Structure 1
Amino acid sequence: GVLLALVVWFYTWAGTYFWLYAWGAVTLFSVFMAMFYSQLIVPLFNKQTPLQEGALRDKIQAFAGKVGFKLDNIYVIDGSKRSTKANAYFTGLGPKKRVVLYDTLIDELTEEEIVAVLAHEVGHYKKRHTLRSMVVSVIQMGVLFWLFSLCVNNAALSEALGGDRAYFQLGLIAFAILYSPVNLILGVGMNVWSRSNEYEADAFAARYYEGGYLVSGLKKISVKSLSNLTPHPLYEYIYYSHPSLLKRIDAIKRIHE
């Protein structure tokens, strides 16, 4: 809501080129959230505590050192307060990056499986998937705002929705309607790219740690998240950002053949 209000203000202040200011503001917001989401937003809903010294922390740091990945911030989040799903993720950029382990992940997986799952996430960083995704997202956002500027200043679209001239509000509604099929097509392309990245991250974990531990860890995570092991190929192609579990396991096993 705050961002939309800012876009409206840019529209009244900057006129035709408001989309450039809106693009810049949303880009800065996105980068800020990528860097500080875990420190500012997550604590409002969950408790994060540093991972205690011990075998698990030593194994994580040993792997990080092996692949040249500087990692000092390792936290455990009380995800079990709302869900039984096991998960782990990286957040932040540069020195602000941190790894967050769900307590359910620690309870359900062995230490080796946890390191293997984290090795997959490290693979995303080492392959620059995170940075590239952010760059693509920024470009996509710029194109979106440019197309929106064409709609919001088009009197014909506002008139088609009952207006007598170009209105920001009617242009916003028209843009939402017209952009939906475009977004679906772009989404398919992004999902294809995302699945390719997941295969690359799996391969990284299998090569630099142990594919067997990754497979067993993914199986346990899949059980907790109630994943569909055999989705329809067309549905998976259109909507899945991650390959189905059986395909991931087959790809991991082929690395060691």
Structure 2
Amino acid sequence: MARNAKKALEELAHRGPHEVLHGDLALVGLPGVVCTPRSGKGLPAVAFGHGWLQSPRRYAGLLRHLASWGVVAAAPGTQRGPLASHRLLAADLRTALDICTGVRLGEGAISVDERKLAVAGHALGGGSAILAAAEDPRIRAAATFAVTETMPSALAAAHRVTVPGLHLAGGKDLLAPAVSNAQPIAAAWGGPVQLRELPKATHLGFTEGRHWTELLLDGKPEYRTQRTARALLTAFLLRTLNGDERGAALLDDDFSGATLDRARTRTAARAA
């Protein structure tokens, strides 16, 4: 690992400088959770989509981490059943962004800049994030972890997404192998895009805590996978939404544990 990339990983994998507040999206009409810095005006925001059968609380550490770096992070708790609607989850991600921009959070001490919005997600939540990004011109960046195909098709929607994209795939993911999911989506992406493979990551490696779905799905929570994903997503959002280049070395270089797929990476994702 290059020294600069290692330094950026160490910095961005740790909590940021902001104290974090927790909230319940249900209070404003949408089941789910939201994490924010204690205060701040004109902040960036990301709506995060959960994986199949997963609870948004399985990503609570990630949401808190993003908030500690100054990013408002909201995760809808809808469409959690076996017949989840990808289209409706995409709509709920957009609604979560509406809440972030339209509701004064944190007892009035927080506001979100509608020019600094992103979507992200794990597995079907990642596919739904792509659907949302293809339809909502407010969204300025999109990221996925172990993305899976959706109905309507995330692969078809990827052609229409012209904002920067970051896709992380697990090298040991048996449910969403990169060759049939993240790779074709990255190849179809309509804007700047980066694809990385985490060689030792399984499908559930991005989730947190124990859950009954470990008996059904591939893998289990993995600290190293979570740590690497947090750092990369933080660097990506800070760069694309805030023009903050503290994670530039992490995004631009190869490093151990997250191999850059240069064949499917086009143009470094920088702030517009």
TM-score, reference length from structure 1: 0.28
Higher helix share: 1
User: Which structure carries more strand by proportion?
Assistant: 2
Larger radius of gyration: 1
